[in-house]
Structures are given as C-alpha cells and as structure tokens.
Amino acid sequence: MNTPFTIELLKLANGARLLRVIDDGTGTCLERTLRPDVPVVVQKKLLSHALHSLLERELKETASAA
C-alpha cells in the first residue's frame, strides 16, 4: 500500500472527532467519526486500508470496462 494519503483529524462543534483520509492523486476521501474506545492509530490504519481497497477496485473496474 504505497498510495500517498493525507490524513486529517477534525474536531466538530459538538465535540466529536472526525478522521478523514484523502488520496492525494485523485482527491477521493473517506470520513468516519472516531470511536473513543478504539486507538486512533488503529482507526487510521483501517480507514486507509479501506480507501486503498476502494481505489484498487475502481481501477480494476475501469480497466476491464476499457
């Protein structure tokens, strides 16, 4: 998984925290509200993996449609 991602941690007005992972190449992003009972590093890894898998799947579908 060598895709360059930008990871943002945002604090919302209601006090909740939001984790945003952005693919620098396409601008595609995934967001998830952080769970306080799970370490942030674990959630970052899971969300990054989900975005990487999504981009791979889209690339395969695009290549097979061409």
Note the pTM of the prediction, 2 decimals.
0.80
Are the beta carbons of 64 and 55 closer than 8 angstroms?
no
Could you tell me the two tokens for 40?
A: 């942030």
Reported as a single tens digit per residue, the pLDDT across 18-38 is 999 999 988 999 999 999 999
Cα dist. 31→51, 55, 62 in Å? Answer: 10, 15, 24
Reported as a single tens digit per residue, the pLDDT across 34-61 is 999 999 999 999 999 999 999 999 888 8
- Per domain, the residue ranges of the chain are 5-65
Structure-token match 């990487």, residue found = 52
**Distance between CA atoms of residues 59 and 1, nearest Å:** 14
